[in-house]
Amino acid sequence: MAKYRCEFDSPQNYLQSDDFYLQGCNPGLLRFVLGYMKEKEEELTEIYVSLPIYNNPFLHHAFEKLAERGVKVTIIARPIDSYRNTNPNWIIDLADREGAFDTAKTPYQLARSFFAAAYQKPKENFNLKVFPHLSIKNHEGNPFAKGQQPYSLEVTAFLFLFRQGGSVAFSSSDLHCGDAVQEGHMLLDENDWTLLKNTRRFFEALSEQSFALPDFNFSIQYNHHEFQALPQTQRLPVFFLAPFYLNSPSSAETELVKRIREAKERVWVQSPIINCYEYSVDGHFHSTLEDEIIDHFGFLRPVLERASIGAEVRFLTGAYPNGGPGIAPIKETETFTEFRRIAKATANNRLATSPNIGSSFLILDDCLILSSTPFRSDIFVYLDQVRIQGFTEAETEGYTGIFSTTSLFWLVEDPEIVATYRRHFEHLWGTAHLR
C-alpha cells in the first residue's frame, strides 16, 4: 500500500525572499529530502537521482557520505555547459545569514568543483553522469552558444531502493543554488510497486543513454548524437516522456486529455507558464507522419470544454504578456491571444497570476496530476527524425536527432494528498491577481 509524504516551500518562509541561498532555491525541500535519507540510511542500498542542475553542496555532501557507506549513488544531470555563467549572485548561508563566499558566484561556478572531482578522481559507488540530449526542432536562433544549449532534461526525481522495497520522490525544484526561492513542493511515495517498477525502468534507460563524466567529451557539441528510441507501453499513474521512449509525449497527451474530459466538477491548472492551446508539428521530421505541417489542439482546449459544461476551471500562472510585479513577461503569441479570447467568451473559467510560481500540476475533481515541466506549447511534441542543415545565426552548425522533452506526469488519487494540494492552490489563489 502506498504511503505518502509531502512538503511545500515558499518565499514567505524566509526573511529575504529574493536572496540566493547556499541551501538552494528551495531550502525547505532540501531539508525534507536530507532528513528522509538520514532516516533511511541503514536501509538504503541504491539511489538514482535526476537533477537538471547539480550544484547544491549539501546534497552533494550527503550523496558522497552515503556512497562511502556502500550505497550506490547515480546522479544524472545536464552537462555543465548549460548552467548559467553570467550575472553572478551573492550566496547567503542560511545557517548564519552571512555570505558563503568572498565573491559572487554563478550556478556554473558552484557546480564546477563537483564536476571536476567526479571527472578527475572518480569515487567508488558515486556516479555523476550527464544526459546530453538537445531538444531542437527548427533552424531559428543560435542554440549552441556557450551556456545556452537547450538540453531536454526537466525531471527532478529520486528513486530510493532499500533492502526491501523502495520509494520515489518527485520535486518541482532541482534544489540548485543560484536562483531565488519559488513556490515549490516535493511528494514522496513509499512501496507503490507499480510506481517503483516504472520509475526504475526509466532511470535505468536514462542512465544507459547518459555519459559517466570520465567518458564525456566536454570539447564537442552533441548536436549529432543519436539516441535509441524504443517503443514503450506506458499508463498512468506515472508517465515518462523521453527521447528514448518512442512517441511518449504524444501518448502522454492522449492520456492527459482523456483524464481532463472525465472531470465533471473542477479543473484547476497551475504552471509557471500556460501556453499550450494550439501547436504545430513539422511532419518532415517524423518517421510516420505524411503531412508537411500538422496542427494540434493542446490540452487547454479540452480544459475550456469542461468549463462550457459547468465544471469550475481556474488557471494560475506566474507569467503573462507584459509581466507585472513578480510576474514573468511572455510573448503574446497568436495562440495565447486565441486562448484568452476563447476563455473570456466561455463561462466558469478564470485566470490569475501569482509571483514565484515554480510548479506545474492539474487538479481534476478528486485527483492530482503532477508535471515536471511547465505547460508550454512544445511539451507534447515528439519528432524522431529532425534534420537541420544550419541555423539562422550559425550557418555552419546543424542538428540531427530527436526532439522531445525529458519529463514526467504523475497521477495521485490519495484523498489526503489531493486535499493538501487543493489547499495549497487555494492559498496562492487567494493573493493572486485576476486577469
H/E run at residue 104: none
**Contact present, 342 and 372 (Cβ < 8 Å):** no
Per-residue pLDDT, 145: 43
CB contact set of 68 (below 8 Å; sequence gap of 6+):
125
**Phi, psi dihedral angles at 78 (to 5 degrees):** -70, 155
* Mean pLDDT over each residue of the chain, to the nearest integer: 89
Per-residue pLDDT, 140: 58
Find the length of the chain: 435
Q: What is the pTM of this model?
A: 0.92
Per-residue pLDDT, 160: 98
Read out DSSP for 166-215? EEEEEES----SSS---BEEEEEEES-HHHHHHHHHHHHHHHHTSEEGGG
* Domains within the chain, CATH numbers bracketed: 1-222 (3.30.870.10), 227-435 (3.30.870.10)
| Alpha-carbon 284 to chain mean position | 28
Read out DSSP for 371-430? ESS-B-TTTT--EEEEEE--BTTBTT--EEEEE--BEEEEEE--HHHHHHHHHHHHHHHT
How far is residue 45's CA from residue 410's CA, in Å, rounded to a whole number? 25
Read out DSSP for 11-66? GGGSSSTT-EETT-S-HHHHHHHHHHHHHTTTTEEEEEEE-SS---HHHHHHHHHH
Rounded-to-10 torsion of CA 186, 414, 372, 434: -90
Candidates 393, 403, 176, 178; CA nearest to 289 is 403
Per-residue pLDDT, 144: 45
How far is residue 149's CA from residue 151's CA, in Å, rounded to a whole number? 6
**Contact present, 243 and 230 (Cβ < 8 Å):** no
How far is residue 43's CA from residue 62's CA, in Å, rounded to a whole number? 15
How far is residue 424's CA from residue 185's CA, in Å, rounded to a whole number? 10
**Contact present, 304 and 298 (Cβ < 8 Å):** no
Under-70 pLDDT residues of the chain: 1-2, 137-149, 290-291, 390-396
Candidates 225, 228, 224, 222; CA nearest to 243 is 228
List C-alpha distances in Å: 99 to 22, 90, 93, 109, 329.
9, 7, 6, 16, 31
Cell matching residue 211: 555519459
296-349 pLDDT tens trace: 778 888 999 999 999 999 999 999 888 888 888 887 777 788 888 999 999 999
Per-residue pLDDT, 75: 98
